[in-house]
Amino acid sequence: MDYTFNFNAVSLAPLLKGLWVSLELTVAANVIGVVFGFGLALLIMSPFKLVRLPFMLFVEFFRCTPAIVQIVWIFYCVPMLFDVFLDPITMGVLALGLNLMAFNAEAYRASIQAVPKEQIDAGIALGLTPIQRILHIIFPTAFRASVPVLLTNGIVIFQQSALVAIVAIQDLMYQGKSLATETYRPIETFTVVALIYFAVSFPVTQIVGLLERRRQLLVS
């Protein structure tokens, strides 16, 4: 291969600027996913079919369609159908947040089902209302059990945030594509972009592994 590598041609400034946008999208989407994912889990566990069914369809839609299709649909169809025009970053957060809500809801649902019945019975005996039992018994227990999955889903959303480059949000991937075009150095540019994604994702995956090992030790 007659190719001379030149990583000096890759400017880190625009890539770090794009990384900041990617992190903003990721953090905001995770806030939506962690908070509203729990509420969504409660709704899909409702004993009333009319309440449960639409939210189950919502979860299945986001779990069974590609994230890139969801992003493009929200960016282009929502303004046309509902006459709602938001700035690109907000639209990106909305698309990623709704996707994460669906996956986190499933993680919460499994954890809620694993909450010991004795704890709920104790809450009833203490005279706690259903809302108080959810806030003080079910949510803390389910959240702790779900943390490894929530972290994994969160880092997946960070990686999927690269898809917003297709709708011209200037995230890390968008800046990488622009830089590769300007410098005619796609190999070096996308290698650096990949390493940046790895540098952010890898520590989180190690934390998830540590939490899983600790959990297994506690169980055994």
pLDDT of residue 217: 75
Vertex 38 angle, CA 35 and 43, to 5°: 130
Q: pLDDT tens digits, residue range 194-203?
A: 999 999 999 9
Closest CA to 110 of 77, 78, 150: 150
Share of the chain above pLDDT 90, in %: 79
Q: Using CA atoms in the order 209, 214, 215, 218, what is the torsion angle rounded to 10 degrees?
A: 160
Q: pLDDT tens digits, residue range 153-185?
A: 999 999 999 999 999 899 999 999 999 999 999
- Beta carbons of 108 and 122 less than 8 angstroms apart: no
Measured CA to CA, the distance from residue 171 to residue 92 in angstroms comes to 10
Measured CA to CA, the distance from residue 88 to residue 68 in angstroms comes to 15
* Domains of the chain: residue spans and CATH: 12-219 (1.10.3720.10)
- Side-chain-facing half-sphere of 124: CA atoms under 13 Å: 5
pLDDT of residue 216: 76
Reported as a pLDDT band with limits 50, 70 and 90, residue 219 is low
Reported as a pLDDT band with limits 50, 70 and 90, residue 211 is confident
Over 90: is that where the pLDDT of 212 sits? no
Q: pLDDT tens digits, residue range 64-90?
A: 999 999 999 999 998 999 888 889 999
